[in-house]
Amino acid sequence: MPTLFVLIPFIGIVLLNLLYSQKVKNLAYGAVLLVTLIQLFMAGSLIFECATNFFSSVEIKYFVHLSIDLYAAIVLFTIGLISLIALIIRRYADKDEIFNFSQLILIIMIGMNGTVMVTDIFSLYVFLEVTSVASFVLIAKKKELLALNGSFKYLLMSSIATIMILSAVAILFMTYGTLSYAELGTQLNAAADSLSLQVILAIICLVTGLSIKAGLVPFHMWVPDAYSQSNSAVSILLAGIVTKAGGIYAILRLLMVVFPHIALISNVFAFIGIITIVAGALLALTQNEFKKMLAYSSISQVGYIIIGACCGTPLGFLGAFLHFFNHATFKSLLFVNSAAIESRTGIKELDKLEGLGGRMKVTAGTSAVAFLSTAGIPPLSGFWSKVIIIIALWQVGYIPYAIIALLASILTLAYFLILQRKVFFGKQSAEFDHVKEANGGFISASMILAIITVLVGIAFPFVLNFLKIKGLF
């Protein structure tokens, strides 16, 4: 069963290229859409199956080197959803470009599904590289100078991160003689109190390398350029899943399985997480371009996921993965809206956009939902995940971190309310009289995401009740 996630997109690529003709090119879009829907259904069914035995963290499905458990199923579901959204947006581009874009999306899906399911540090590196190479090509596809610049910077930082991750893998291999997660976990647990100097060096290299790949502060330099200077659909993919399912999921999985009892790594990551939250929120305030502001806000939200995971308790991990899914939905919604605005008005800077709410009603409404969810307002989904993370921090004892996280959330709320009022509900300037509502692809994508945000928010108290029965609260 887990190999199906990797095999189906691969068969898709092979078929699309072997039967290469004009008719197949037209069908390519529908075929890739079908693949993402298949992934959605498979992952959704796995979530239902895993939900009944939630607290036995035994892997549910196990093939030779791939395994899926509840958290992996949540991430697979997110991957399918965001790929679907990215495809819906590109519906009106021309045929050649859609063909290339569809195939690259299939490759990225293979890479991310692989990262999520492996049980081995070296295979993690291989699938991270698959995702990275496909991302370089996707960003540089536009072939304008800024996009090439962003892609090259991403390539450079990703290669440095690869060197550091592999050095850490080499040192760990030398000390323990094994590469799989489970065996490394048991050996590190046995030696958790007295770590030799070489293992500490390996951990430092690993933390640095994974932080570069995930875009955490202070290694976030490539993130704003790469997100804001690519195509809209590519920005949605990047911000929604590529950095998350690649770097962040790797960190979370390693924290869960390989390093659960080592205090050094949890403290370091918690510190990096808090700095990321604060720096991302502050830097987002100073940006003028819409997409760059969203990029910095993404960096800030990723900090919440890392802090949630550093608690080490099941509640913390639940909050982290829930915020993973929520962030993917509301950040993608914001990127969809910014792409819609850009496609109708051609403007990227925030200070020139005023009062579009009257003309673009659907965009205004859905972006209001997304902003409120980012800031953590009940009853939307963002509120629940942030509350769970803050409670988990409180329970473990990281009290100053919890207070700082809360304050940053209030800061985000203030800024986004000001922004929403200005861009959508202010006074409309005359040059926007000709602006119509965005075309069908954008409308359907934003409606789907907004409905998911609201539904998860409203339905979540039932899940909390279920957890209370199981004794987690």
Partner 1 sequence: MLSIIFLTVILLYIIGFYYLVTTRNLIRILIAMEVLTKGLTLTLIYVGKVTGQMATAQSMVITLIIIEVVVLAVAAGIIINIFNHTDSLDVRKISRKKE
Partner 2 sequence: MNDIVLYILLGLLVVSAVLTAMIKNTLKAVIALALASAILTVIMFMMKAPLAAVFELSVCAGLVTAIFVSTISLTDSPDPDEQQVMREKKRLTRYIFLPIIIIIVAGILLIAQPALNFSFAAPPAVQSTVQDTIWHTRNLDIAGQIIVILAGVFGVVILFKERLKK
- Per CB under 8 A, residues contacting partner 1 are 122, 126, 129, 132-133, 136-137, 140, 143-146, 148-149, 151-152, 155-156, 159-160, 163, 166-167, 170-171, 173-174, 177, 179
Q: How far apart are CA 116 and CA 443, in angstroms?
A: 31
Beta pairing class for 67-68 and 61-62: antiparallel
Q: How far apart are CA 376 and CA 410, in angstroms?
A: 8
Q: Rule CB under 8 A: is residue 149 a binding residue for partner 2?
A: no
CB of 122 to partner 1, least distance (A): 6
Q: Give the Å distances, CA to CA, from 90 to 93, 437, 443.
A: 6, 17, 12
What is the number of H-type helices and E-type strands within the chain?
A: 19, 2
Cβ proximity of 42 and 5 under 8 Å: yes
For residue 69, give the amino acid letter.
Answer: D
Of 405, 377, 376, the closest CA to residue 390 belongs to 405
List residues bridging with 120 in a β-sheet. 180
Q: How far apart are CA 345 and CA 336, in angstroms?
A: 14
Indicate which single residue of 42, 130, 242, 299 sits in contact with partner 2 (rule: CB under 8 A). 130
Q: Rule CB under 8 A: is residue 133 a binding residue for partner 2?
A: yes
Q: Which is nearer to partner 1, 224 or 308 (CB)?
A: 224
Indicate which single residue of 45, 159, 198, 288 sits in contact with partner 2 (rule: CB under 8 A). 198
Burial class (CB in 10 A: 0-12, 13-18, 19+), 303: buried
**21-26 long-range Cβ contacts below 8 angstroms, 24+ apart:** 25/95, 25/96, 25/99, 26/95
Write down the H helix ranges in 177-256. Answer: 181-190, 197-214, 222-228, 232-237, 243, 249-253
Answer with the entry of partner 2, partner 1, none that 167 interacts with (C-beta below 5 to 8 A by kind): partner 1
Q: Rule CB under 8 A: is residue 204 a binding residue for partner 2?
A: no
CB of 299 to partner 1, least distance (A): 19
Q: Rule CB under 8 A: is residue 134 a binding residue for partner 2?
A: yes
CB of 13 to partner 1, least distance (A): 16
Q: Rule CB under 8 A: is residue 32 a binding residue for partner 2?
A: no
Query: What is the separation, in whole angstroms, between the first and last Cα of the chain?
Result: 33
CB of 171 to partner 2, least distance (A): 9
Secondary element (H or E) of residue 62 = strand 61-62
Q: Which is nearer to partner 2, 134 or 277 (CB)?
A: 134
Of 325, 76, 324, the closest CA to residue 214 belongs to 324
CB of 36 to partner 2, least distance (A): 18
Q: Rule CB under 8 A: is residue 141 a binding residue for partner 2?
A: yes
CB of 343 to partner 2, least distance (A): 23
CB of 150 to partner 1, least distance (A): 9
Q: How far apart are CA 125 and CA 114, in angstroms?
A: 10
Q: How far apart are CA 308 and CA 85, in angstroms?
A: 27
Q: How far apart are CA 75 and CA 433, in angstroms?
A: 42
Q: Which is nearer to partner 2, 54 or 62 (CB)?
A: 62
Name the segment binding partner 2 (CB under 8 A); options: 97-105, 218-226, 246-254, 410-418. 97-105
Answer with the entry of partner 1, partner 2, none that 103 interacts with (C-beta below 5 to 8 A by kind): partner 2
Q: Which is nearer to partner 2, 134 or 450 (CB)?
A: 134
Answer with the entry of partner 2, partner 1, none that 166 interacts with (C-beta below 5 to 8 A by kind): partner 1
Q: Rule CB under 8 A: is residue 245 a binding residue for partner 2?
A: no
Answer with the entry of partner 2, partner 1, none that 427 interacts with (C-beta below 5 to 8 A by kind): none
Point out which residues bind partner 2 (CB under 8 A): 6, 10, 13, 64-66, 100, 103-104, 107, 110-111, 114, 118, 120, 122-123, 126-127, 129-130, 133-134, 136-137, 140-141, 143, 173-178, 196, 198
